[in-house]
Amino acid sequence: MVSGRLTGPIGIAQPRGAALPTLLIIALVAFVTTLDNNIVAAAVPSIGRELGLGLTELQWISLGYILPFAGLLLVAGNLVDRWGQRRALLLGLLVFGTAALAGGVARDAVTLIAARAVQGAAAAVLVPATLSLLRTNLDVRGRTIGAGIWTAALAVAIAIGPAAGGMLSEHLHWSWIFFSNVPFAVAAAALAPAAAATTRRTTPGGADVRGMLLVTAAMLLFLMALVGTGEQTPNPLGRAVPAGLGVLALVAFVVVERRSAHPMLPRSLVAERAFLGGVSVQLLWGLGVSGVFFFTPLLHQESLGLTPTGAGLPLVLVAVAIVAATPLVAPAVDRWGPRYTVMVGLVLVSAGLVAIAVVNHVPSVPPRIPGLLLIGAGSAFTTPLTSFSLEVVATRDAGIASGALTASRELSSALGVALIGLVLTVRQSAELAAGAPEPDALASGFTAGLITAAVVELLAAAVTFACFRSRPFDEHRDTADSGGE
């Protein structure tokens, strides 16, 4: 590492003065791209009433954002490396803000879902462009701080999104859940020139469009199998056909990637156990948490009788716990290493989900508070997932690696909504068939979803133990890697 400076893309030195703008952009982009997904949770009843939509169509308002986000991330990471961080950030912010305005003025389902899809595509460019700044602008400890800010910002957005969406839709109009994105995009665009490099990667090879289309088609087909495409829940055959086609698309993707000269994931990344472990754990963490957070405001409105604002407000406690626990993460990594820090976090998240499941039959909010606080504190301790997964990545692959990590999170959001929704619906239907009242049946279904999510978090802890190092990464290794480029 050059004295007094930080090594940027392909060895270009970045001034240390770029660190503060980098951390601010990390916070803004993590917050707004996550908020744009979760803010719709408490507003979907209002959107449904005005546009005449059913539950399945309302789920696709969320999935319409997540699917292009997750599907395009790997190709977008490649493009970030080629275009340069500054160009990618500015273009992504422009499209993201414009699509947010389009969503706000939409008055039919097709226009709204299309605007959401464009926003998801723009977010797919923004996130790897931003996360690559961790690798190119910050030293080892700075990356831990930056990753902590990233995780805290996205988790805070997950937590307060439903409350904000409920408040805006209740007191103004649901359009404002989209208009609220614009100031964040403008602020991040103003900071981009100070933090992002214009340098492009010059190695040969094109984007793997075939791989992108196949993996996106596989995700779409799996979601169709779990959620359906219309008002009616699909019958077993309606689930089996898209699921089978999804498997075929996934197999074709693997074959294409093995034969491609320039696969979506460079073979050097696939060979890194720590990187693959980080991607897998990120997927499992989000799979457990995201689906629960999407359906919590619905449970609070339908089962507890809360207003849209009140239904999302308890999730703010998760944000409070994240903020309170985040300063403890770096010392925990120094003392225990990334493996045990992340494992502790995942076990705490699982314990929080179980704690809520135990009291879910109680028709009030206070008994749920300890579980919400445990989920928040545990999520903060999963911060090293990002920084230590990127630590093994060469600087030239920072964009594509960041895209892969975020793709796993966004894919987990889509699958989490679908999986927890399926578990909830199956259990709810069984309870209704047995004669249970609708609020009790919904609560029972949500309890089953919580237990499912808790098991997924424990599985993530097991993967963490198998894939992560027991000690922190050595800064000497980072210095040698930077200086050798």
In this predicted model, what pLDDT tens digit does every residue of 278-287 receive, in sequence order?
Answer: 788 888 888 8
- The dihedrals phi and psi of 314, each to the nearest 5 degrees, come to -60, -25
CA 17 to chain centre: 29
Cβ–Cβ < 8 Å for 22, 133: yes
How confident is the model at residue 396, as a pLDDT? Answer: 66
* Terminal C-alpha separation, the chain: 10
Q: Is residue 319 part of a domain?
A: yes
203 within some domain:
no
Q: Tens of pLDDT along 134-171?
A: 767 766 677 777 877 877 787 778 767 877 888 888 88
The residue assigned the tokens 């619906």 is: 425
Same domain for 240 and 269: no
The DSSP call for residue 234 is P
* Chain centroid offset of residue 182 CA: 20
Q: Is 138 helix (H, G, I), strand (E, B) or coil?
A: coil
Does residue 179 sit in the same domain as residue 244? Answer: no
The pLDDT of residue 201 is 52
pLDDT bin (cut points 50, 70, 90) of residue 13 is very low
Q: Which of 261, 280, 305 is the endpoint of a domain?
A: 261
pLDDT tens digits for range 419-432: 887 888 888 888 88
On average, the pLDDT of the chain sits at 77
Mean predicted confidence (pLDDT) in 21-36:
84
Same-domain check for residues 320 and 433: yes
Same domain, 281 and 255: no
**CA-CA distance, 457 to 287, in Å (whole number)?**
8
Compute the distance between CA of residue 342 and CA of residue 355 in angstroms, rounded to an integer. 20
Residue 161: inside a domain, yes or no? yes
Percent of the residues in the chain that have a pLDDT greater than 90, as a whole number = 12
pLDDT of 94 reads: 92
Count of structural domains, the chain = 2
Q: What is the widest separation between alpha-carbon atoms in the chain? A: 72
What pLDDT, on a 0 to 100 scale, did the predictor assign at position 283? 82
Query: What is the predicted pLDDT for the residue at 236?
Result: 67
Lowest mean pLDDT among 96-105, 436-445, 468-477: 468-477
pLDDT tens by residue, 270-321: 666 777 777 888 888 888 887 787 788 778 877 787 887 787 788 888 878 8
In a domain, 16, yes or no: yes
pLDDT of residue 370: 94
Q: Which H/E stretch holds residue 14?
A: strand 13-15
Residue that finishes a domain, picked among 261, 287, 304 = 261
Residue 346 pLDDT > 90, yes or no?
Answer: yes
355 confidence band (pLDDT: 50, 70, 90): very high
Report whether 382 contacts 321 (CB < 8 A).
Answer: no
252 in the same domain as 291: no
Q: Rounded distance, CA 111 to CA 51, Å?
A: 11
Residue 472: the pLDDT is 44
pLDDT, one tens digit per residue, over 164-216 is: 888 888 888 888 888 988 898 898 888 887 766 555 554 445 556 677 778 77
Digit-coded pLDDT (tens) for 379-433: 889 877 776 677 666 666 666 676 677 677 777 777 787 788 788 888 888 888 8
Q: Are residues 358 and 223 in the same domain?
A: no
CA dihedral 439, 444, 446, 447 (to 10 degrees): 140
Range with the poorest average pLDDT among 115-119, 126-130, 230-234: 230-234
What confidence tier does 454 reach under pLDDT thresholds 50, 70, 90? Answer: very high
Q: How confident is the model at residue 238 (pLDDT cuts 50, 70, 90)?
A: low
The pLDDT value recorded for residue 377 is 92
Residue 292 and residue 278 share a domain: yes
pLDDT higher than 80, residue 468:
no
124 — pLDDT class (breaks 50, 70, 90): confident
Residue-level pLDDT at 406: 67
Res. 480: pLDDT tops 90? no
Domain finish residue from 227, 244, 261: 261
Mean pLDDT across 348-370? 92
Range of the domain at 253: 208-261
If asked whether residues 121 and 178 sit together in one domain, one would say yes
Q: Look at residue 199 in the predicted model and tell me its pLDDT.
A: 53
Does 360 lie in the same domain as 446? Answer: yes
Do 160 and 277 have their domain in common?
A: yes
pLDDT confidence of residue 218: 82
Q: Say how far apart CA 304 and CA 284 lie, in whole Å.
A: 29
Examine residue 19 and state whether it is found in any structural domain, yes or no. yes
The CATH number of the domain where 315 resides is what? 1.20.1250.20
Residues 44-68 have a mean pLDDT of 77
